[in-house]
Structure 1
Amino acid sequence: MIVIYGGHFSSLAGFYEEISSVLMKDADWKVGTLDGFDDILYGGFGVIEGKEKIEIIWKESEKSEKDLGFDATREFYNNKIRQGKPFNIELIQQKLDDLTEGKGQTLFEILVEIIESHSNITLTLE
C-alpha cells in the first residue's frame, strides 16, 4: 500500500516531490513531469517492481482536487505556451481552451486518470 498525503503539497511541483519521496525512495532521480509519473507507475525502478497489485491511497484528496484544479491547470498550460518549444503550442492552447469551456481536465483529473490507467493499481481517494 502506498499513501499520498495531499496535505504535504499544494502544487504540481509539490505533488512530484511527494510522489518521488513515496515511490522513488532509493532512486537517483525524482519525478518532474506527467510522463515521468506515468513511467514510474509501470514499475521496474523505485518501489514498484513490475505488474504486482498496488493500492494507492490519496489522503486529503479533496484538498488536492482544489489545489490542482482549474487555476493551477490554467497556469500550467499558460507556462507551457510561454515556453514555446519543445511543446506543441497548438495542442496546449486547445487543452487550455477546453479547460476554459468546462470540457477539459484539471491537473488533478489528469493525475487520477494516469493512476487509473494502470490495471494493477487501485486508487482510493480519501
Structure 2
Amino acid sequence: MSNISNNNQHKVIVINGDHFFDLPGFYEEISQLLMKNTDWKVGTLDGFNDILYGGYGVIENKEEVQIIWKNASKSEKDLGIDTTREFYENKIKQGKPFNVEFIQQKLDELLSGNGQTLFDILIEIIQSHPNITLTIE
C-alpha cells in the first residue's frame, strides 16, 4: 500500500512509526514520503516545517492534506525524553551556530518535566499548518 493517496477532498500521507526509531530515521521517512523526485532531504526541524508549507515535494501550496501517524505510541517513546535530552546535549556540545543558552533552557525545561519532547515538537509543527489535519493512531 502506498503511503500517499488522494481521496476526493485531500491528499493523505501516512507516517509509520515502525519505519524509524530516532530523529534521523524520522527525517528519512519524511524525505521518502514528502520529497519524492527531488534532490533535497529533510534534515532539521525547520526543514520539516518548511516542506509542510508546500510548493516543493508532494504537497502543493496550501492544499488540504491529512497526515495519519500510525504506531504513534512507538514514536512517542522513540522520540521521548531520552532522545530529546541527547538532541539538546549534542547541540550544546557543538556550540555555534546554536543558541546554547536557549537550548540549555529547553533542556532544563525537559528535565524538570515541563518541556517538550521531539515527538511533541513534531506534532506541534504539523498542527501549526491550518491546511493539514493530523490523525494519530
TM-score range, shorter chain: over 0.9
What is the CA–CA distance in structure 1 between the aligned matches of 2:81 and 2:48, rounded to whole Å?
20
Which structure is higher in RCO with an 8 Å CA cutoff and minimum separation 6?
A: 1
> Matched residues in 1 for 2:58 and 2:34: separation?
5
For structure 2, the 5+ residue unaligned runs are 1-11
Secondary structure in structure 2 of the residue aligned to 1:104: coil
Alignment partners' CA distance in 1, 2:84 and 2:76: 11
Larger Rg: 2
Match of residue 60 from structure 1: 71
Q: Point out the structure with the larger helix share.
A: 1
Q: Which runs of 5+ in 1 are unaligned?
A: none
Residue of structure 2 equivalent to 1:70: 81
Note the alpha carbon deviations across 1:16-64, whole angstroms, 9 max, x for none: 0000000001111100000000000000000001101000000000000
Residue type matched to 2:84 in 1? T
Aligned equivalents of 1:67 and 1:11: distance in 2?
6
Q: How many aligned positions are there?
A: 126
Aligned-partner Cα distance in 2 for 1:58–1:26: 22
- Could you say which residue in structure 1 is the equivalent of 2:61? 50
Q: Do residues 16 (structure 1) and 33 (structure 2) align?
A: no
Q: How does 1:1-126 map to 2 (within 5 A)?
A: 1-126=12-137
List, as ranges, runs of 4+ consecutive aligned residues in structure 1 with deviation greater than 2 Å: none
